[in-house]
Structure 1
């Protein structure tokens, strides 16, 4: 079994496993929620293998994924992990993003209860509320740190300017963003901003939502209620083009003697010690395969070859469908405009 190294995430003192575990798909969005005992078993297997950085959100389920993690961390497991959760997206028949201070506090207290813990290690704003100046939201998060309810603060899908403004109020430990061979737009502005400010980078969907695990065959495996069926990149008109990227990466992986998903994950691992991917899975064998990526070494010429295959125009379609906010629409009004 691959030994999972530890890395410092950001410059505020948080240390995590070099590969994390995204827990969303266990409970939400990717088809029918998986049986609870199986998922608890998987989480325990991950922790025992050295994957201690667990990622959830109050939005996954909603709420049921946090409850699952709360159960999985009973019996002495809590002390072994770095627990990350998120607030900021509500769903009551329609999406709503909320960064209002009273909501921030209520969401945090509800997450603490569901997770059945005294303190959250890393608490992210899941999406940025463009009605509330980021300074106002951050001020409440700072209070939660001072009260010992959370240790470190993170942002997800935030623009470079939002990250700067937030970091000026209270240090941001990590920014979570979609980064993979099939999503490289964050390299232009967000990654450099994080590095300048000493902020760790957490890469979600590092396997392109499964495309680097299964290629276009993935769509045949998806249940009718799997949200990925709605993603523009997986629509027939785009998939025909997009599967070429998978096939070319697959060819390189075959030559290298590893799987396509291991090569895609290894590429992220080679971006630097400040980057931690959090691939999700619901199967122990996939978890083991993902850990195998830590042993895949990529010399500069292979990195260059992968990057030329996965250039900006190698993927067609947006990451998300209409109505889902991302860092592209995450700037908030100036603090001077806040009258609440």
Structure 2
């Protein structure tokens, strides 16, 4: 386990809201079963956020990462800014976002929240959809402006969900050409990619990198209690990332909420399962301070799970997970933002 505990101590806060998980532009936005009610979550006054290494980058990040999609869900802007700053004040250093989230509003809100000295406290990541050098460059410039920063710590190629994506990204005039130029210019520090469809596509993207003499700094993928039972990223991709010391960004720890509907595992069990893997960070979406406090409490309380506990949890989830019913991002196009908006791959127009 790449687990290291920080020494900061954080203040007690109140919790409220409903549980949501990070997801792409096509994801459901409603409340989920099993969500904490008003005042349900009380953080301990001495809660300590565990931290882990981000692969071979030399960076250390918080065990919990704040997903960027759902910070735009509150009606009032101040509520969105409060979520981001509450996360940082309570030990969250990893900030997730994407060029296309909520038509750019998620990045704008995060940029505002990171003012007044907060930018220096976080590791900032965003994603771009472009598959050409031109579209990638334009999207990156827009993200830099929205996030109100001169440099983004990590930029990831979003939604590597098609078998042709790796070749397109590494082709002359493709995505990687622009990202490497931006890295050389000091606009971005590290490069990774994301996807939620099929581990075979992730492996093809990693191979494309190796074949071109490039090793990604990070890879983002679904890691949850259902994943081992169907098209498993944990079983097929995770070992490769660990072998090459690539940062592991776990997402969809609650399966975008669907796992709670299966009634096979609680929210805390889901979060702890993802934390128990050799993840650098577990990214979860929060549309309220209450949801955020649920994730914070899970991180503060986390202890490595015994093999017996893991086996029991996987046995309990196996019948529900065998066909991908609770991982619609693998089995349908409901979560594929770039499938619904193919022009994102070629332009900087939302």
User: Aligned partners of 1:64 and 1:307: how far apart in 2?
Assistant: 38
- The yes-or-no answer on 1:142 pairing with 2:180 is yes
On the 8 A contact 1:142/1:170 being kept in 2, the answer is no
1:1-340 alignment runs, 5 A limit = 1=44, 2-27=47-72, 34-88=75-129, 98-128=130-160, 130=164, 132-136=167-171, 137-157=175-195, 158-167=201-210, 168-184=212-228, 185-212=232-259, 215-216=260-261, 243=262, 246=263, 248-249=264-265, 260-272=266-278, 274-294=279-299, 295-297=301-303, 298-311=305-318, 312-313=321-322, 315-316=324-325, 319-320=328-329, 321-322=332-333
Q: 2:131 aligns to what SS in structure 1?
A: coil
Q: TM-score, normalised on structure 1?
A: 0.74
Q: TM-score, normalised on structure 2?
A: 0.72
User: Aligned partners of 2:309 and 2:326: how far apart in 1?
Assistant: 26
What is the alpha-carbon root mean square deviation over aligned residues? 2.2
User: Aligned partners of 1:44 and 1:316: how far apart in 2?
Assistant: 35
On the 8 A contact 1:182/1:310 being kept in 2, the answer is yes
- Structure 2 segments unaligned to the other structure (5+ residues): 1-43, 196-200, 338-350
Q: 1:202 aligns to what SS in structure 2?
A: strand
- Structure 1 segments unaligned to the other structure (5+ residues): 89-97, 217-242, 250-259, 327-340
Count of matched residue positions in the alignment of Structure 1 and Structure 2: 271
The structure with the largest helix share of the pair is 1
User: Aligned partners of 1:144 and 1:172: how far apart in 2?
Assistant: 15
Q: What does residue 31 of structure 2 align with?
A: none
Higher relative contact order (CA 8 A, sep 6+): 2
Q: What does residue 231 of structure 1 align with?
A: none
